[in-house]
Each structure stands twice: as C-alpha cells, then as structure tokens.
Structure 1
Amino acid sequence: MAQTAWAEETITRIARAIREARGERSAQWLADRTAELGHPISRVAISNLEVGRKSGLDIADLIILARALEVSPVQLIYPGLMDEPVEVVPQQSISSADALFWFTGEGAPNPGVRDAQLAELAGEKLPQDEVEKFHENRRAMEASVPVGTVRDYYSMKETLDRAIARARHPATSKDLQEVLVKQVQDTQTRIDELLKFMRSEGLVIGDER
C-alpha cells in the first residue's frame, strides 16, 4: 500500500473504531463529552471523521476521544484484536496483537524474525533483509527498556501488596505468615533494586516510592 493510501486507511480504521465504540450514542453526545473533558471536538468534526470527510486526526483528539468513549487510545488504533491483520507501517502487515505490543513497547517491530546471532552460531546465514530486521528489533527493544522496568515495578508492587494483605488477614496461620513475611522482604528488596536501576536510567521516580 502506498504511503498516502496507508495513512488514509489508518484514519479510516480509527474512525470506524470510534463509530463502533460510540454505539447508539449520538455524535453530539460525544462532542459534549469531549467538551466536558476540556478539549472540545465539534459534532461536525466527529461526523466528518466517521464518514471519511476528514483525512487526519491529531494525537490530542485521539486521546480525548478515547477517554470520552472509555477505551484506551490503542484500541482505537488497532481495533482488530487480536489476530486481524493490520498494515502497521506502509508495506508491513502484522497481527493487531503484534501491532499492539510494538506500539506499547512490549514487542518488536518485526515479529517472527529469527535471531541472527543464534543462526550464525548454528552455521546458518540469514538473508540480509532478515539480519537488518533482527538488528532493528534489538534496537527497538533496548529503547523500550524503561517501559519494561515500569511494568516490572507495578507487577512487583502488586505481589507485595497481596502478600501484605494476606499476612495481615486474621485467618492466616502463623506458619503462612512467616512465609509471607519472607516474601514481603524479598519483594521489597527487588523493588528497591529496580528503583535504583530506574533512577540510574533517568526515569522520573517520585519521592514517595
């Protein structure tokens, strides 16, 4: 798909997702809701987007429309979860799930590409385009380390909070409490180490952490 056609199809897909998320509610309702949220988008603009008379969509508008519709912005961008193919960039179609993972920093831009270094160790020589995609994947995943560390932090924090809640429950036996206290201590140590790493990487960490 040519660049212009790809951009148009992307907007069409988002517009269709907005229309479906709106359901039986009117375009005026959606316009009113965006105004309530502090970034008004007119009924005419919404209608023009949904019927294809509007060829572009600002990021700010996408965010406010998603909030008004009570969905995440990425669900409007890739509504065909999980396996519907989507042309994520011109001339590259992947599953909507893979597109979602790439967009959120959880996955590589070229899913399914073999590890060129492992192939070399096995005595195989991959085509040059696959090697280039492999290195692009590595660069992308390295750049997404902050995303992964934030996700790890909240996962550990949930584990910590659950262990504390169980340890405090009056029905929890003394033996289990001892196990949970050890889990709390170990998890807190891991959290402290992760926060230290995050600060060293320049992530903004509030004092309350």
Structure 2
Amino acid sequence: MTQSWAEQLVARVAGEVRRLRGKEHSALSAAKLSDRTVDIGFGISRSVVADLETGRKKSIDVAELLVLAAALGVSPAQLLYPDLPKGPVEILPGLEQESHEALRWFSGEAGLMKPSPDWTEADTEESAGVWVREQFDPRNDRVGITREWLQSLQTMRRARVQLRNGLSKSESAEHIETMQMAYEDARRRSEDLFHKMTELGMAVGDELDG
C-alpha cells in the first residue's frame, strides 16, 4: 500500500507540472522549464521532466519539488495537492480527505482529521465513525507559533497606526484609551510569543517586533 501511495503522490506532481506548462497556462516546453530550473540554481534536465510526466520517473525528491514549483510560479503544496479545494486525496497511506485538509496540514495550519477509536456505538460498541482533528505537539510545533506571532505583530502594527491616527486627529479621550489598550494587548501578546520562541531555541532575531 505504501509504495502505491508514494507512486500516486509522484503522479499527482507530474500531472500538475504537465497541466501548468500546457497551452492553457504557460505554454512552456519541457526545455524551457528546464532552463528555468537552471536559472534558479538547481537544474532539472528536459529528459527528467519528460520522465516525470510520462511516469517513468517513480520518485521525486524535495529539492526537485521546490525547484519545479518555483519554476512554474506556484506553491510546492499545489504540486502535491492539485485538486484543490475539494478533490479527494490520500494524504497518508489509507487516509483519504479533501485536498484543502491536506493543504492545511502541510502548511502547518491544522492537524490531520482522523477517525477516533474512542467513540463507539452504545449498543454494539463498534466504531461510531467520529473523526477528530489531531493537534500538533506544542513542544515541537514551530510553524504554528510562528504563524501566531506574525499575526500578533500584524495586529500590533495595525493598532499602532490607528492609535497614531487617532492622536493626530484629536479623537476623544475614550477612543484614544480604547486604541491604546488594543495596542498594548497586541504588544504583550507578541512579546509573550517572542519569549516563548526564544525558550524553544527558535531563530527569532534580536527585535521583538520582527
């Protein structure tokens, strides 16, 4: 099963590469695509592109995936999950879901949805078919906390601009106080996340506001 799943993954990438360089999109020949990969700094030959698209190439490494995506002007995730948003995809061997769920997992936005063995029918004690979303391990999840930090920075900066605008326009004291509180809350949140990332040994740089 695992080998079949792996081959299907490569076939999805191949199909999307072929589609993206087709006449309805970039009308890009295999040779031109190869030239683009050379320009990027990791050349993928025309024959390798052809072997991928015809199914002769049975595997694809991470470097090839990244460079092909860059050469075609799309996210690597699109090559892996081309049938967005609702097309079915076997995310892992035996685990089929809609493509948008695969994208959320791959990008670190949300854990996988999996059937839970903890839910059973009362009368038969058989599985009730309830699916639950797994959570990423907070001790190891650097993607989630980074996303949360970036969002807090955006909120803080937006609140700071609104506060400055309010001060320049001589808004009411009550309105200024509300904006000040919003800014301080966002600043504290970003600082808390910064210090948490530091404790986790993450590469946070030197400045709290990025």
Q: TM-score if structure 2 supplies the norm length?
A: 0.81
Q: Which amino acid aligns with 2:92?
A: V
1:113-128 to 2 correspondence within 5 Å?
113-114=115-116, 116=118
Provide the residue aligned with 1:187 in structure 2: 186
Distance 1:7 1:115, change over 3 A: closer
CA shift at 1:143, angstroms? Answer: 5.7
Moved more, 55-64 or 23-32: 23-32
**Residues 193 and 115 of structure 1: is their aligned pair in 2 closer, same or farther, counting only changes over 3 Å?**
farther
Determine if contact 1:106/1:144 at 8 Å carries over to the other structure.
no
* Counterparts of residues 18-33 of structure 1 (less than 5 Å): 18-22=17-21, 23=25, 24-33=27-36
The residue type equivalent to 1:16 in the other structure is: G
Query: Hey, what does 1:104 align to over in structure 2?
Result: 107
Matches within 5 A, 1:4-153: 4-22=3-21, 23=25, 24-109=27-112, 111=113, 113-114=115-116, 116=118, 137-138=134-135, 140-142=136-138, 145-153=141-149
Relative to structure 1, the CA distance from residue 104 to residue 10 in structure 2 (aligned partners, 3 Å threshold; closer, same or farther) is same
More displaced, 57-66 or 26-35? 26-35
CA contact 1:85–1:93 (8 Å) conserved in 2: yes
Mean alpha-carbon deviation: is it higher for 192-201 or for 164-173? 164-173
SS at match of 1:54: coil
Shift of 1:38: 0.6
Q: How big is the shift at 1:76?
A: 0.7
Distance 1:197 1:125 in 2: 46
AA at the equivalent of 1:113: P
Q: Kindly tell me: are residues 26 and 160 of structure 1, through their superposed partners in 2, closer, same or farther at Cα, counting changes over 3 Å?
A: same
Over 3 Å counting, the alpha-carbon distance change for 1:190 and 1:124 in structure 2 is farther
For residue 164 of structure 2, what is the aligned residue in structure 1? 168
Residues 149 and 27 of structure 1: CA distance in aligned 2, closer, same or farther (over 3 Å): same
Letter in 2 for 1:89: L
Q: How large is the Cα RMSD of the aligned pairs?
A: 3.0
Which whole-Å deviations, capped at 9, do the CAs of 1:71-118 have from their partners, x for residues lacking one? 111111011111111111222211111112222233233x153594xx
- The answer for unaligned runs of 5 or more in structure 2 is none
| Whole-Å separation in 1 of the counterparts to 2:50 and 2:191 | 50
Q: 1:157: which partner in 2?
A: 153
Aligned residue pair count: 200
Unpaired segments ≥5 residues, structure 1: none
Q: How many angstroms apart in 1 are the aligned matches of 2:127 and 2:142?
A: 30
Normalised by the length of structure 1, the TM-score is 0.81
Which has more helix, going by share of residues?
A: 1
Percent of residue pairs bearing the same amino acid type: 33
Residue 130 of structure 1: how far off its partner (Å) = 7.9
Q: Distance between the aligned counterparts of 1:186 and 1:85, measured in 2? A: 41
